[in-house]
Amino acid sequence: MLRKELAKEKSILLIGFMGVGKTTLGKALADKLQREFVDVDHQLEIIYNMKITEIFSHYGEAFFREKEKEIIKVLTEQKGKVISLGGGAFLQEDVRNVCLENGIVLYLDMSFEAWKERIPFIIDSRPVLHGKSEEDIKELFNVRKELYTNHHLKVTMDGKELEEIIDSIVHSLSLIKK
């Protein structure tokens, strides 16, 4: 597809619990679709020149959520991109609304059993998980799951290779009107 045509298409917005692979998959999907990739957390890290954990500890979560919302509002006005959101972005109704109106919201779903294998790899860089037991995290996982029911497309990640997931997303995208 020509870049000019792509620029008119809605952006693809990746949502799902922290650590399911929105950033990892978003990059690969953008490559496959020849779209520009934007990661909301990374944008905030650039703006504040701090890691997400530092933004949380320095300014607090409420500040982070406000800035996260502001940047998502700006980014969702842009077309033709693949944009990975942070795992907690859909906590905010304004964020849900602006994403569902302007983009194609793709939910990366995963079972808790599969997801919990990732805890050791992500715990240090996800402040929301700090100080929580596995039971607490499971509860958070289930509460957040409700929020992610607001989507246009869903892909289940359990037991699948990245390539397989990308192919199924590309197929689903080809079936919907943009």
Ligand X SMILES: Nc1ncnc2c1ncn2[C@@H]1O[C@H](COP(=O)(O)OP(=O)(O)OP(=O)(O)O)[C@@H](O)[C@H]1O
Ligand Y SMILES: O=C(O)C1=C[C@@H](O)[C@@H](O)[C@H](O)C1
Q: Which residues are annotated as a binding site for substrate?
A: 41, 65, 87, 144
Q: Which is nearer to ligand X, 42 or 73 (CB)?
A: 42
Count of positions (residues) in the chain: 178
**Helix 61-75 and helix 93-102: axis angle, to 10°?**
20
Burial degree of 151 (CB within 10 A; 0-12, 13-18, 19+): buried
Residue 92 touches which of Mg ion, ligand X, ligand Y, none (Cβ within 5-8 Å per kind): none
* β-sheet bridge partners, residue 83: 13, 38
* Partner interacting with residue 168 (select from ligand X, Mg ion, ligand Y, none; CB below 5-8 Å by kind): none
Question: Interface with ligand X by CB under 6 A: which residues?
Answer: 16, 18-24, 41, 84, 86-87, 118, 121-122, 126, 162
CB of 115 to ligand X, least distance (A): 9
Shortest distance, position 149 Cβ to ligand Y, whole Å? 16
81 is in the binding site of which of ligand X, ligand Y, Mg ion, none (Cβ under 5 to 8 A by kind)?
none
User: Residue 33 or 166: which CB sits closer to ligand X?
Assistant: 166
Q: What is the DSSP letter of 9?
A: S
Min separation Cβ 72 and ligand Y, Å: 11
C-alpha closest to that of 153 among 126, 175, 124: 175
Of 91, 67, 100, the closest CA to residue 18 belongs to: 91
Q: Annotated binding site for ATP: which residue ranges?
A: 19-24, 126
* Residues in contact with ligand Y by the rule CB under 6 A: 18, 41, 52, 86-88, 126-128
Collapse the DSSP code of 89 into the 3-class scheme (helix H, G, I; strand E, B; otherwise coil) and give the result: helix
Q: Which one of residues 12, 14, 23, 151 is an interface residue with Mg ion (CB under 5 A)?
A: 23
Binding site as annotated, residues: 19-24, 41, 65, 87, 126, 144
The CA distance from 109 to 116, in Å, is 13
Adjacent-strand bridge partners of 14 = 84, 106
